[in-house]
Amino acid sequence: MMKQYTTEQINQAVKGTLDGSPTIMITGVEQISEATTNQLTFIGEKKYIKLWDQSLASAAIVNNILDVEPGKNRALFRVADADLAMALVLQLFEPEPPKCEPGIHPTAVVDPTANIGEGAAIGAGCYVGSRVVIGKNTKLYPNVTVLDDSSIGSETIIWSGTVIRERCRIGNCCIIHPNVTIGADGFGFRPSPDGRGLVKIPQIGTVIIGDRVEIGAGSCIDRGKFSATSIGDGTKIDNLIQIAHNCKIGRSCVMAGQSGLAGSVTLGDGVMIGGGARVKDHVTIGDRAKLGGNAGVISDVAPGKTLLGFPADDYRQTLRLWAAQKQLPDLIKQMKKK
């Protein structure tokens, strides 16, 4: 059944100021250039105001600071933060997730020593090893592997293809997207004494993941060489991210796609890392620091700093350097003339 709400109902959800009719029926959400009648869009920046005049959308969420009018037979929801308000609306229209019914699917393999909590769902083709603990109402979608002595908290969702290796611990209310690997061996090798090969360094540690952590598809979190690789409560990790052995990630950090941490990196609380950024081993990033996309960090970063470039430096210094580099071709031409 299609979900639909009046503009008044949506305004109550976002706690905004409704400018326009309270009775317009909204049946979906779409970006401003693609929206049609009875759909809702949002205007978070000034540059999108001009698109509102051509848009077929019946309503829009708009930041309070923007000067825009609803127009005939349309409505605006004026809010302090359009992005956060849109998140609330998307929850209203979110489709039901794929079914993963409580209980153990007949094709799943669950070791008799495993402890499965009340209301937990173990989907088709899953494997749950010896002495594994799975909390209440946790969902394992089809083809998830959880190896011996690992534990998963309550209300956690683990999507298909994920592998959780032995002795790892995952907290409550986490979301782990498809094909994540938690607890693979850290990358540890040394030249052999005869110089003809490499000696593998055993990785005997584990991985500890806090509560409300989200890990994107295809990401890898390696176990510690000793002790544990750890991820703090509320941290959000995008797709295709590498976190190497013995890293310590604080609370409420954000890592964008294809970024990576080498071994024994420490992130403070609230650190933000842009897409493709890399951090050298044994580096410490202070609380609330920010690393721009593709930054290459080779030394410690103080709390609250913003870095860009490679090697990463204070963003103001990097921007000056980039501006100067653009002038080099003209300078070279002038030098040749002389």
> Which one-letter DSSP state was computed for residue 223?
P
Residue 105 annotated as catalytic: no
CB 159 within 8 A of CB 182: no
82 to 89, 94, 324: CA distances (angstroms): 10, 18, 37
Closest CA to 31 of 60, 53, 5, 7: 60
Distance of CA 251 to the CA centre of its chain: 13
Query: 189-191 and 169-170 as β-strands: parallel, antiparallel, unpaired?
Result: unpaired
CB 46 within 8 A of CB 66: yes
Residues facing 230 on adjacent strands: 208, 248
Burial of 134 (0-12, 13-18, 19+ CB in 10 A): buried
Say which of 105, 177, 245, 282 is annotated catalytic.
245
The helix or strand, by DSSP H or E, that contains position 324, with its residue range, turns out to be helix 315-337
Tokens encoding 331: 């300078």
For 121-251, where are the alpha helices, taking DSSP H only?
none
Angle between helices 7-14 and 82-93 (to 10 degrees): 120
**Exposure string (b/e) for 9-45, b if CB count within 10 Å is 16 or more?**
ebbeebebebbbeeebebeebeebeebeeebbbbbbe
Residues facing 60 on adjacent strands: 41, 76
Tokens encoding 318: 């990097």
Whole-angstrom Cα distance, residue 133 to residue 146?
Answer: 10
CB 200 within 8 A of CB 245: no
Active site residues: 245
